[in-house]
Protein backbone atom coordinates (compact mmCIF):
# COMPACT_ATOMS: atom_id res chain seq x y z
CA UNK A 1 0.00 0.00 0.00
CA UNK A 2 1.43 3.37 -1.00
CA UNK A 3 1.80 5.83 1.88
CA UNK A 4 0.80 8.61 -0.52
CA UNK A 5 -2.58 6.98 -1.18
CA UNK A 6 -5.57 9.20 -1.73
CA UNK A 7 -8.28 9.74 0.85
CA UNK A 8 -10.63 6.78 0.88
CA UNK A 9 -13.97 6.74 -0.84
CA UNK A 10 -16.64 5.23 1.41
CA UNK A 11 -19.34 3.40 -0.51
CA UNK A 12 -21.79 0.54 -0.26
CA UNK A 13 -20.16 -2.83 -0.78
CA UNK A 14 -20.83 -4.72 -4.01
CA UNK A 15 -20.60 -8.40 -4.89
CA UNK A 16 -17.25 -7.70 -6.58
CA UNK A 17 -15.85 -6.65 -3.16
CA UNK A 18 -16.43 -9.99 -1.42
CA UNK A 19 -12.90 -11.38 -1.93
CA UNK A 20 -11.30 -8.20 -0.58
CA UNK A 21 -13.73 -8.13 2.37
CA UNK A 22 -12.92 -11.76 3.16
CA UNK A 23 -9.18 -11.07 3.03
CA UNK A 24 -9.52 -8.10 5.42
CA UNK A 25 -11.59 -10.12 7.92
CA UNK A 26 -9.10 -12.99 7.68
CA UNK A 27 -6.17 -10.72 8.58
CA UNK A 28 -7.74 -10.34 12.04
CA UNK A 29 -7.92 -14.06 12.81
CA UNK A 30 -4.28 -14.99 13.56
CA UNK A 31 -3.89 -12.39 16.32
CA UNK A 32 -6.93 -13.89 18.02
CA UNK A 33 -8.35 -10.65 19.42
CA UNK A 34 -11.01 -9.69 16.88
CA UNK A 35 -12.77 -12.60 15.25
CA UNK A 36 -12.67 -15.24 18.01
CA UNK A 37 -12.41 -17.99 15.47
CA UNK A 38 -9.45 -20.10 14.45
CA UNK A 39 -10.74 -20.83 10.99
CA UNK A 40 -10.45 -18.50 8.03
CA UNK A 41 -13.62 -17.18 6.44
CA UNK A 42 -14.49 -18.16 2.89
CA UNK A 43 -15.76 -15.91 0.14
CA UNK A 44 -19.03 -17.87 0.14
CA UNK A 45 -19.49 -17.24 3.88
CA UNK A 46 -18.76 -13.52 3.53
CA UNK A 47 -21.11 -13.29 0.51
CA UNK A 48 -23.90 -14.93 2.54
CA UNK A 49 -23.15 -12.58 5.47
CA UNK A 50 -23.36 -9.58 3.14
CA UNK A 51 -26.62 -10.76 1.54
CA UNK A 52 -28.15 -11.31 5.00
CA UNK A 53 -27.11 -7.84 6.17
CA UNK A 54 -28.49 -6.18 3.06
CA UNK A 55 -31.75 -8.18 3.23
CA UNK A 56 -32.16 -6.90 6.81
CA UNK A 57 -31.58 -3.35 5.51
CA UNK A 58 -28.27 -3.11 7.34
CA UNK A 59 -25.35 -1.40 5.58
CA UNK A 60 -22.14 -3.03 4.49
CA UNK A 61 -19.64 -0.30 3.63
CA UNK A 62 -16.20 -0.44 2.12
CA UNK A 63 -13.39 2.07 1.99
CA UNK A 64 -11.68 2.24 -1.37
CA UNK A 65 -8.31 3.87 -1.89
CA UNK A 66 -6.39 3.95 -5.15
CA UNK A 67 -8.81 1.39 -6.62
CA UNK A 68 -8.43 -1.14 -3.80
CA UNK A 69 -10.82 -2.04 -1.00
CA UNK A 70 -8.88 -1.25 2.19
CA UNK A 71 -11.61 -1.38 4.84
CA UNK A 72 -15.05 -2.70 5.67
CA UNK A 73 -17.68 -1.74 8.23
CA UNK A 74 -21.19 -2.88 8.98
CA UNK A 75 -23.76 -3.09 11.69
CA UNK A 76 -26.44 -5.60 12.54
CA UNK A 77 -28.80 -6.30 15.39
CA UNK A 78 -27.59 -6.30 18.95
CA UNK A 79 -29.50 -9.36 20.05
CA UNK A 80 -32.27 -10.41 17.68
CA UNK A 81 -34.66 -7.49 17.37
CA UNK A 82 -37.21 -9.58 15.45
CA UNK A 83 -37.62 -11.80 18.53
CA UNK A 84 -36.86 -9.10 21.09
CA UNK A 85 -38.27 -5.93 19.59
CA UNK A 86 -37.12 -3.95 22.62
CA UNK A 87 -33.67 -3.99 20.98
CA UNK A 88 -34.89 -2.58 17.64
CA UNK A 89 -33.12 0.75 18.23
CA UNK A 90 -29.73 -0.80 19.04
CA UNK A 91 -27.05 -2.10 16.69
CA UNK A 92 -23.69 -3.85 17.06
CA UNK A 93 -21.04 -2.86 14.58
CA UNK A 94 -17.73 -4.04 13.21
CA UNK A 95 -14.98 -2.14 11.42
CA UNK A 96 -11.85 -3.66 9.89
CA UNK A 97 -9.02 -2.03 7.97
CA UNK A 98 -6.37 -3.76 5.88
CA UNK A 99 -3.17 -3.88 7.94
CA UNK A 100 -1.24 -2.04 5.21
CA UNK A 101 -3.73 0.85 5.26
CA UNK A 102 -4.01 1.49 9.00
CA UNK A 103 -3.31 4.83 10.69
CA UNK A 104 -4.58 6.81 7.69
CA UNK A 105 -8.02 7.70 9.05
CA UNK A 106 -9.82 4.95 7.15
CA UNK A 107 -11.50 3.47 10.23
CA UNK A 108 -12.71 6.93 11.24
CA UNK A 109 -14.07 7.58 7.74
CA UNK A 110 -15.92 4.26 7.80
CA UNK A 111 -17.29 4.93 11.28
CA UNK A 112 -18.41 8.45 10.36
CA UNK A 113 -20.57 7.03 7.58
CA UNK A 114 -21.72 4.01 9.60
CA UNK A 115 -22.83 6.18 12.53
CA UNK A 116 -24.58 8.60 10.15
CA UNK A 117 -26.46 5.70 8.56
CA UNK A 118 -27.43 4.33 11.97
CA UNK A 119 -28.81 7.72 13.00
CA UNK A 120 -30.71 8.15 9.73
CA UNK A 121 -32.20 4.68 10.25
CA UNK A 122 -33.56 5.73 13.63
CA UNK A 123 -31.11 3.81 15.80
CA UNK A 124 -30.42 5.12 19.29
CA UNK A 125 -27.40 3.11 20.54
CA UNK A 126 -24.39 1.50 18.87
CA UNK A 127 -22.54 -1.30 20.65
CA UNK A 128 -18.93 -2.39 20.22
CA UNK A 129 -17.86 -5.79 21.55
CA UNK A 130 -14.08 -5.89 21.72
CA UNK A 131 -11.53 -8.34 23.09
CA UNK A 132 -9.97 -6.89 26.25
CA UNK A 133 -6.50 -7.44 24.75
CA UNK A 134 -7.34 -5.34 21.69
CA UNK A 135 -6.20 -2.09 23.32
CA UNK A 136 -5.95 -0.19 20.02
CA UNK A 137 -9.59 -0.87 19.17
CA UNK A 138 -10.76 0.08 22.65
CA UNK A 139 -8.84 3.38 22.47
CA UNK A 140 -10.17 4.04 18.96
CA UNK A 141 -13.76 3.60 20.11
CA UNK A 142 -13.25 5.68 23.25
CA UNK A 143 -11.86 8.53 21.14
CA UNK A 144 -15.09 8.36 19.14
CA UNK A 145 -17.24 8.74 22.26
CA UNK A 146 -17.94 5.10 23.07
CA UNK A 147 -18.10 4.43 26.81
CA UNK A 148 -17.18 1.13 28.45
CA UNK A 149 -20.34 -0.29 30.03
CA UNK A 150 -19.22 -3.78 30.96
CA UNK A 151 -16.83 -6.68 30.76
CA UNK A 152 -17.60 -10.34 30.31
CA UNK A 153 -14.59 -12.28 31.61
CA UNK A 154 -13.68 -15.59 29.97
CA UNK A 155 -16.73 -15.52 27.70
CA UNK A 156 -14.95 -16.75 24.56
CA UNK A 157 -12.17 -19.18 23.74
CA UNK A 158 -9.78 -19.17 20.79
CA UNK A 159 -6.18 -20.12 20.18
CA UNK A 160 -6.02 -21.95 23.54
CA UNK A 161 -6.91 -18.82 25.47
CA UNK A 162 -10.00 -17.61 27.30
CA UNK A 163 -11.16 -14.24 25.99
CA UNK A 164 -12.72 -11.33 27.86
CA UNK A 165 -15.23 -9.19 26.00
CA UNK A 166 -15.41 -5.46 26.65
CA UNK A 167 -18.75 -3.84 25.87
CA UNK A 168 -18.67 -0.22 24.76
CA UNK A 169 -21.71 1.87 23.93
CA UNK A 170 -22.26 5.00 21.88
CA UNK A 171 -25.39 7.08 22.40
CA UNK A 172 -26.13 8.05 18.81
CA UNK A 173 -28.63 10.69 19.89
CA UNK A 174 -26.06 12.47 22.10
CA UNK A 175 -23.22 12.56 19.56
CA UNK A 176 -23.09 14.50 16.27
- What is the rounded CA–CA span in Å between residue 159 and residue 97? 22
* Full set of structural domains in the chain with CATH: 9-171 (3.40.630.30)
Dihedral sign, CA of 174, 168, 144, 90? negative
Cβ burial 84-122 (10 Å sphere, 16+ → b, else e)? eeebebbbbbbbbbbeebeebebbebbbebbbebbeeee
For range 140-147, the mean pLDDT: 97
Q: Within 13 Å and on the Cβ side, how many CA atoms surround 133?
A: 13
Q: Is the pLDDT of residue 2 over 70?
A: no
For the stretch 63-91, pLDDT in tens is: 999 999 999 999 999 988 888 899 999 99
- pTM recorded for the entire structure: 0.93
Amino acid sequence: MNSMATDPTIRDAADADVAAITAIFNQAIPDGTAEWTERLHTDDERAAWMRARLAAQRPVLVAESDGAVVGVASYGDFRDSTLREGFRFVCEHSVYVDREARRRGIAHALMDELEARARSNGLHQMIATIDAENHASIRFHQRRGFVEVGRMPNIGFSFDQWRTMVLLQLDLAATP
